Amino acid sequence: MTGEAEPKADALMRGILSALERAVPGPPNGKALVRDALDAIPGLQEAAAGEDGPDANALERFRERVVELLKSGRNPVHLVSYRNQVLERAERGRTDGYESASLGRSALQILKDEFPADQLFDDLARDDLEEIDETLADAAEDAPPIQDIPSWVPESHWWWRAPKRTDMSDRERRFRLYGGELDW
């Protein structure tokens, strides 16, 4: 061992696979493991595009393994639960849920677009994505703006840029996000 740090993308891929593998048999924390794994996919997107990103073959094997794991054991149920969690975050979009819903929606879109995930996105899943999109669009009318949109976010992920209240004061934004008065 040379003492060199593991590239971020490799560490994220290893963590995602580990969480999904541990969730397969249906442990009590299986939903949380799948949630954490899927929430890490957008960060992997950014890391994979960097200098230390994995080679194309390694990334393709990773994507195939993720899909295989999401179809195994209790993970299909956990994937449905994840979509429901993203919808719940979107429903809280006018207060504290919009940014986390955007992250989850992007994770689902990346999974759909860049993973061999045809079998993961049946009619129900597509309906869920439409419902999430409608809820995000409604919430965007009064959602706190997202101040630091990650650099990896493509234009097609409209939900990150959808909040219309760009004139919201920092005080009101903090009040909505954190649920009360804060002395800053």
**What residue numbers bound the domain in which 148 lies?**
8-178
Residue at 62 is within a domain:
yes
183 found inside a domain: no
pLDDT along the chain (184 residues), means of 10: 71 97 95 97 90 90 97 96 97 88 97 89 94 96 87 94 80 69 46
Q: Which two tokens stand for residue 9?
A: 């993308």
Q: Count the domains in the chain.
A: 1
Identify the three-state secondary structure at position 118. Answer: helix
Indicate the helix (H) or strand (E) that contains 132.
helix 123-139
SS3 160: helix
Q: What are the pLDDT digits (tens) for 79-97? A: 999 999 999 999 998 888 8
What integer pLDDT is reported at residue 38 of this predicted model? 98
Closest CA to 145 of 108, 178, 172: 172
Give the CB-side neighbour count of residue 54, counting CA atoms within 13 A.
Answer: 18
- Would 67 be classed as within a structural domain? yes
Q: What's the pLDDT score for residue 4?
A: 64
